[in-house]
Amino acid sequence: MSTKKIPYSKLKAESPNTASGTYVRIIKMGIKYKVQMFFGIIAIFIAAGFQLWIPILIGDAVEKISEIVSESDDATNRSVTTIGLLLLFASSMRGLFTGLYNYMGESIGQHIGYELRLLYYEKLQRLSFSYHSNIHSGDLITRALLDIEGVSMFVRTAFLRTIFMFFLIGTGTYMVIKADLVLGLISLSFIPFVGWRSIEARLKLRSSWYKLQEKMSILTKIMDENMGGIRVVRSFFSQNYEIRKFDSASKETLYLANDQVDIKSINISMISTSFLISMGLVLWIGGLKVINGSINIGELATFLAFMSILQQPVRMLGMMVNAFARGAASGGRLFSVLDMEAEIQEKKGAINLTKAKGILKFNNVSFGYEGERTLKNISFEAKPGHTIGIVGPPGSGKSTIAHLIPRFYDATSGEITIDGINIKDVQLDSLRHLVSVVEQDSFLFTASIEHNVAYGNPWAEDTDVEIASKNTQMYNYIINLPDKFNTMVGERGVSLSGGQRQRLSIARSILLRPKIIVFDDSTSAVDAATEQKIRIALKEATKNRTSIIISHRLSSLMHADEILFIESGEIQERGNHEYLISKGKKYSELYELQIRPKIN
Amino acid sequence: MFKSKLKYSNTPPKASIKRNTFFDDEIFGVAYDQKIILRFGKYLKPFRKQIIYSFIAVLFFSISSVSFPLIIKFTIDSSLYNVTNIDNIFLICIVTFFIGIIVNFISGYFQEIIIGKVGEKVLVDLRKSMFVHLQKVSLSFMDKTEIGRMMSRLQGDVAALQEFLHTITVGLGDLILITGIIFVLFFLDWKLALMMIGVVPTLLLVRIIWLPHARKAFIKSRVTASIVSGALAENINGVRAVQGLTREKVNYSLFEVLAHDNLKAQNIATRFSVIMMPIVDTLTGISLSVIIIGGGFLITKGNLEIGVLVAFILYVQRFFDPIRALTMHYSVFQRAMASGERIFELIDVPIEVKDKANAVKLKNIDGSIEFKNVTFGYIEKQPVLKNISFKINPGETVALVGPTGSGKTSITSLTHRFYDIWEGEIMIGDKEIKSVTQKSLGENVGMVLQEPFLFTGSILENIKYSQSKTTRADIVNAAKAVGAHEFIMKLPKTYDTILEQRGSNISLGQRQLISFARAIVADTKILILDEATASIDSYTEMLIQRALAKLLENRTGMVIAHRLATIRGADKIIVLQDGKITETGNHDELISLGGLYSKMFSLNYSSFDDIPDELIKSAAEETKENVT
């Protein structure tokens, strides 16, 4: 198959060094959820407020109780009860608002995950054939499974929590600085260190996550092909070989994962140690100050209490650094697909061609790069009610012609017109409604026969489905199945013979009543007699349609109004069957080769 | 953003992606529940040593973490208040603090690294277990389950466990902390301790009510995620058909429904996990106020020292903090259990075809195959093969002929023991195939499938496949033997040309030749061949016919034949109909017999497979009439 290559560099995700753009995009996606953002941020401040109030209340309580011991006063006893109830209130509220902001954070993350899934799905549907033939489906599945989750998790665990953390650190900083400048600076001395460590670890983790996801793609590919080719695996009893293949890919992912554990472990330990060292220094120097008499002991105690507020955010930091790193790596891999421009684009103001007659014209059409042209200067015209036959050896460019008509690929030069309008000026949807290509190796979906036949027109009447299956000589087979039209087929359904599958996909196309129908070797597994019957049945249905039959079996296209013999991308001979036979060249040689042995 | 709404008519679209949903419950068994956690235990067993080390590390880490406030308290109380001998005690305190930091650093580092690495290994092992299991489960299971669906378990659910791993270290430390604190509290004052712990039963009660609902929500969230990824995967594989038939908008709106179901399920699961936060915090508040009010009362009565009360207040915080954290971890834990369940479901799919304990190696066979009264079917009470008996002599080529559904493919699958038969015996040489190892059976019985499946990788690797001892020269010879050498040499990198997914960058006929070469390299005494039905261009067709003859040279061949040329060339033809053998003999014998075969032959189809069913039926009926 001739496909235009996309340079590999374009397929790769954005390099691990330009992650800030990824964050900006994720953040932009997040702040779209205004309601959640609003309530989430409010809840953060309230939760943090209550969090800070609780130690103050406890301090009050201890003070009051000390007073009770000395004075045994009934009034203070009552105020202790009040403080107790206030504590209950504060604690409940803290829980409520912490729950709320967590919920909002999760909600934003889940919505972004949902949105990304839809965007990704939509993108994959729109990306051109040239993209899909260059990328392994296992790779795309890995991105869908692991990278969307990576971004979503980053948002869920790190998005709002970053705000919460900065708020707590800010408050803590303010309190310690206010209490004592020198001690304050000492107590905050760990922050630059933590900042440096976090940035460094994040960079390392990001490139590691990036590599890990790439290796995961390879692992998915191996598993995907193992399951897809399960019969080959079983018939060669090569399970052990497959397991070894799996193991070596798996080992590489483990190696990278262990790398991450190394980075994370040293990072988390160093961050919390630096915090503890600061605390130790405060205790030491603060203690000396107390001994000197420059501060009193109560001040030191408050100071240390404030510092302990910072302990929780510091503990969370390691986890968040990882979430940031994974978010950037996964986001990069996802956005690289989402940003991929579909090669086939619809022009602005493109024409709707639904009502076209279906006069198809190729004008000097070429395809492929200089030096390896797969099609050279192809010109022909096909009118409604006419049939064009295209024949030639494998690799001659026959299928390329089929793929150019519905713009699965664009011609490199020359133009293709329908009713005189260049197909590049036509709305893609209307073009593809107009043109239907039946492929040789067509994909059936895991669904009932009925749904497969009606795949292109999901609201087709049952009678239409029946007619289409009658026309393709499938009806009798189907109604003899136990579940008739509800029989499941497809990847994991009932096994159909190659010919039956091809007939189903023909039914699927004719149901759409396209103005131009292209049979791309789509009866190769159907025997000649059945094919003849299909042709007769379709004759009435295709009376006003343009048909193009591509085949290497002459019996499929001998009847065509014009036959093009193609070799090395060029039309070598053209004319109807009788004329080409009388010419006695390549076509008639092929005829000799195919038809003679059967007559004898 | 997404304005592609459908013009919905009254009837739902005839769609595909929505139809997958019922698979999950149907194929996999019912959930197991509590056993899941025990199942993980098995995967932890090889790491007993590491787990003990990590436990020690966690212990030291927790102790050092708890000791810091105590050291601070002690520093303030005994050295700074008490002015005598300040320098020494103060310095000792500071030094202790820094020793604590060192202990904390070392134990913290080791707990992270040991648990982290064991965890990653366990994940890899779990995925491998699933993969290895899939290599053994029956083909009928594999036939029913979509790849995207299994991939969601192999990748999605394993990844979901990863999150669990990141919290397990913290969770473990928290548990140790809670236990320690309870001890200390009871040691300090058991009455106050009871008051404080009095809320714990409430917590347990809430848990008991919460758990079944939450579990359901978490599982639903994972299952819907799996459906979404299954739908996504299917669309990736069928993208050409989707674009060709302009189904994008319909598919998008159907996918949107699935993705939205997943979003809703996730959202509900989140509600279950966050609802625990205010509950636990309220209980913390109750505990705190009980201690302050109750403790205050006890103090006024002189039954309690103020120092103990202060210690209690401090410890309440330390006690509920980890409980709060554990609640958050608990939702992670629940999610992990939901994923674990899905993983073990796959591992628990029964293996139907197994080696017997005393299975022997199949070797030095002459190549004969014999079916003795074999009955077999895929669904209970619906036999596909009924009491089939035949014998193939060494070196013979036998063509299996008959209409679709007559049982040809079943016979080939059974010879390879893809399934076990219901009744009868299948012999290879003098051995019953159930009595030999599957591996040795595979070394003696080769198979070429109707549709060649090629792997991503070079042509060389594809021909070599699992035969590790094969040299490049062998591969080139095999390719020459089947006539693939010429076209391979014309490819840009000859034998090192990388085949794209499913070999899509070479033609169908060429893929066929490569799969023939692969069979030559495997060099088995018996070869089962399912001839391709698709007519291939005349150029390649001749090559394939020649390759076929080469392939069957010096081997016993069992061919599901579609081409007349192949059938005529066979030593023996077995005609099948409705799971029974109706005729046996060579071409001339069968023609003179005047049965179904000769009727089919006289219809003059170049390929035998796709003779319309009506014709076969009438031919068969005619034959029956003739017999009676």
In terms of pLDDT, which residue wins out, B186 or B15?
A: B186
pLDDT value, residue A40: 92
Of B75, B235, B453, the CB nearest to A228: B453
* Closest alpha carbon to A423 in A362, A495, A339, A381: A362
Q: Return the C-alpha torsion angle B390, B393, B397, B401, nearest 10.
A: -10
- Burial pattern B45-63, b for ≥16 Cβ within 10 A else e, equals eebeebeebbeebbbbbbb
Helix (H) or strand (E) holding A414: strand A413-418
Question: pLDDT tens across A328-361, in order?
Answer: 888 988 888 888 887 888 888 888 888 888 888 8
B609 reaches A (C-beta below 8 A): yes
- For residues B67 and B65, what is the distance between their CA atoms, to the nearest angstrom? 5
Question: pLDDT tens across B444-497, in order?
Answer: 888 888 778 888 888 888 888 888 788 888 888 888 888 888 888 888 888 888
Give yes or no for a contact between B435 and B356, defined as CB atoms under 8 angstroms apart. Answer: yes
- State both tokens at B34: 């509590």
- State both tokens at A352: 């709707």
* Closest alpha carbon to A560 in A367, A378, A380: A380
In this prediction, residue A496 has a pLDDT band, given cuts at 50, 70 and 90, of confident
pLDDT at residue B106 tops 90: yes
A-proximal residues of B, 284-323, CB under 8 Å: 284-286, 288-290, 292-293, 295-297, 299-300, 306, 309-310, 313, 317
Contact A446 B19 (CB under 8 A): yes
pLDDT at residue A141 tops 70: yes
Give A-chain residues touching B101 at CB under 8 angstroms.
Answer: 273, 276-277, 280
Mean pLDDT, all residues of chain A: 82
Q: Which of B97, B105, B135, B202 to mutate to test the interface with A (most CBs of A within 10 A)?
A: B135
Contact B449 A223 (CB under 8 A): no
The radius of gyration of chain A's CA atoms, rounded to the nearest angstrom, is: 36
Size of interface A-B (CB pairs under 8 A): 467
pLDDT value, residue A12: 41
A-proximal residues of B, 107-126, CB under 8 Å: 108-109, 112-113, 116-117, 120-121, 123-124
A555 reaches B (C-beta below 8 A): no
In this prediction, residue A479 has a pLDDT band, given cuts at 50, 70 and 90, of confident
In this prediction, residue B2 has a pLDDT band, given cuts at 50, 70 and 90, of very low
Distance from CA of A386 to the nearest CA of B (A): 22
- For residues B195 and B5, what is the distance between their CA atoms, to the nearest angstrom? 60
- State both tokens at A313: 């955010």
pLDDT at residue A97 tops 90: yes
A422 DSSP β-pair partners = A417
pLDDT at residue A23 tops 80: yes
In terms of pLDDT, which residue wins out, B166 or B238?
A: B238
- State both tokens at B537: 């261009």
- For residues B537 and B94, what is the distance between their CA atoms, to the nearest angstrom? 88
- For residues B446 and B465, what is the distance between their CA atoms, to the nearest angstrom? 13
Distance from CA of B455 to the nearest CA of A (A): 7
Distance from CA of A363 to the nearest CA of B (A): 23
Does the structural domain B28-347 have CATH classification 1.20.1560.10?
yes
Contact A284 B507 (CB under 8 A): no
Percent of chain B with pLDDT over 90: 5
* Closest alpha carbon to B437 in B354, B495, B375, B370: B354
Helix, coil or strand: residue A438: strand
A121 reaches B (C-beta below 8 A): yes
Average pLDDT over residues A11-20: 50
Q: Which of A35, A218, A231 to mutate to test the interface with B (most CBs of B within 10 A)?
A: A231
pLDDT at residue A76 tops 70: no
Give yes or no for a contact between B371 and B424, defined as CB atoms under 8 angstroms apart. Answer: yes
- For residues A416 and A366, what is the distance between their CA atoms, to the nearest angstrom? 10
In terms of pLDDT, which residue wins out, B605 or A337?
A: A337
pLDDT at residue B558 tops 70: yes
Give B-chain residues touching A234 at CB under 8 angstroms.
Answer: 139, 416, 418
Give yes or no for a contact between B16 and A445, defined as CB atoms under 8 angstroms apart. Answer: yes
B331 reaches A (C-beta below 8 A): no
Strand ranges, E, within B188-251? none
Give B-chain residues touching A229 at CB under 8 angstroms.
Answer: 453, 455
Q: Cβ–Cβ contacts within 10 Å for residue B82, how many? A: 10
The radius of gyration of chain B's CA atoms, rounded to the nearest angstrom, is: 35
- For residues A327 and A190, what is the distance between their CA atoms, to the nearest angstrom? 26
A-proximal residues of B, 176-195, CB under 8 Å: none
Give yes or no for a contact between B267 and A178, defined as CB atoms under 8 angstroms apart. Answer: no
* Closest alpha carbon to B68 in A48, A57, A305: A305
Average pLDDT over residues A91-95: 90
- For residues A456 and B460, what is the distance between their CA atoms, to the nearest angstrom? 40
- For residues A552 and B537, what is the distance between their CA atoms, to the nearest angstrom? 5
A185 reaches B (C-beta below 8 A): no
In terms of pLDDT, which residue wins out, A581 or B317?
A: A581
B62 reaches A (C-beta below 8 A): no
A516-525, A579-588, B10-19: least confident range: B10-19
- For residues B335 and B215, what is the distance between their CA atoms, to the nearest angstrom? 8
CATH C-level class of B369-627: alpha beta
B252 reaches A (C-beta below 8 A): yes
pLDDT value, residue B313: 75
The residue ranges of every structural domain in chain B are: 28-347, 369-627
Contact B277 A301 (CB under 8 A): no
pLDDT at residue B99 tops 80: yes
- For residues A463 and B13, what is the distance between their CA atoms, to the nearest angstrom? 15
Q: How long is chain B?
A: 628
* CA atoms in the 13 A half-sphere facing the CB of B224: 22
Ordered DSSP codes for B348-395 = TSPP-S---TT-B---S----EEEEEEEE-SBTTB-SEEEEEEEE-TT
A141-145, B111-115, B329-333, B357-361: least confident range: B329-333
Helix, coil or strand: residue A559: coil
A554-558, B444-448, B561-565: least confident range: B561-565
pLDDT value, residue B408: 81
Of B101, B292, B607, the CB nearest to A273: B101
Average pLDDT over residues A500-508: 85
In this prediction, residue A1 has a pLDDT band, given cuts at 50, 70 and 90, of very low
Q: Cβ–Cβ contacts within 10 Å for residue A396, how many? A: 22
Average pLDDT over residues B169-186: 78
pLDDT value, residue B20: 40
Of B443, B522, B535, the CB nearest to A525: B535
Contact A268 B124 (CB under 8 A): no
Helix (H) or strand (E) holding B584: strand B580-585
* Closest alpha carbon to A198 in A169, A175, A156: A169
Residue B286's Cα: distance from chain center in Å? 47
- For residues A496 and B609, what is the distance between their CA atoms, to the nearest angstrom? 12
Mean pLDDT, all residues of chain B: 79
Considering A252-261, A292-301, A308-317, A374-383, the range whose residues carry the highest mean pLDDT is A252-261
Average pLDDT over residues B168-187: 78
Among chain B residues, CA nearest to A496: B404
Residue type, B536: I
pLDDT at residue B27 tops 50: no
Q: What does DSSP say about strands B397-401 and B556-560: parallel, antiparallel, or unpaired?
A: parallel
Q: What share of chain A is helix, strand, coil (3-state, %, to 5)?
A: 65, 10, 25
In terms of pLDDT, which residue wins out, A19 or B590?
A: B590
Give yes or no for a contact between A546 and A358, defined as CB atoms under 8 angstroms apart. Answer: yes
Q: What is the ipTM of this complex?
A: 0.82
- For residues A440 and A502, what is the distance between their CA atoms, to the nearest angstrom? 7
* Closest alpha carbon to B518 in B569, B454, B565: B454
pLDDT value, residue B105: 93
pLDDT value, residue A277: 92
In terms of pLDDT, which residue wins out, A439 or A302?
A: A439
Question: pLDDT tens across A150-204, in order?
Answer: 899 899 888 888 888 888 778 878 877 887 888 888 888 888 888 888 888 888 9
pLDDT value, residue B233: 75
Give B-chain residues touching A446 at CB under 8 angstroms.
Answer: 16, 19-20, 146, 234
- For residues B231 and A419, what is the distance between their CA atoms, to the nearest angstrom? 38
B-proximal residues of A, 63-82, CB under 8 Å: 64-66, 68-69, 72, 77, 80-81
pLDDT value, residue A491: 60
* Closest alpha carbon to B48 in B98, B118, B136, B153: B118
pLDDT at residue B622 tops 70: no
* Closest alpha carbon to B474 in B527, B528, B544, B522: B522
Among chain A residues, CA nearest to B524: A236
pLDDT value, residue A452: 84
Q: Which domains does chain A have, with CATH numbers?
A: 180-340 (1.20.1560.10), 360-599 (3.40.50.300)
pLDDT at residue A411 tops 70: yes
Of A95, A137, A153, the CB nearest to B236: A137
Helix, coil or strand: residue A428: helix
Angle (CA) B205-B210-B211 rounded to 5° is 100
pLDDT value, residue B467: 82
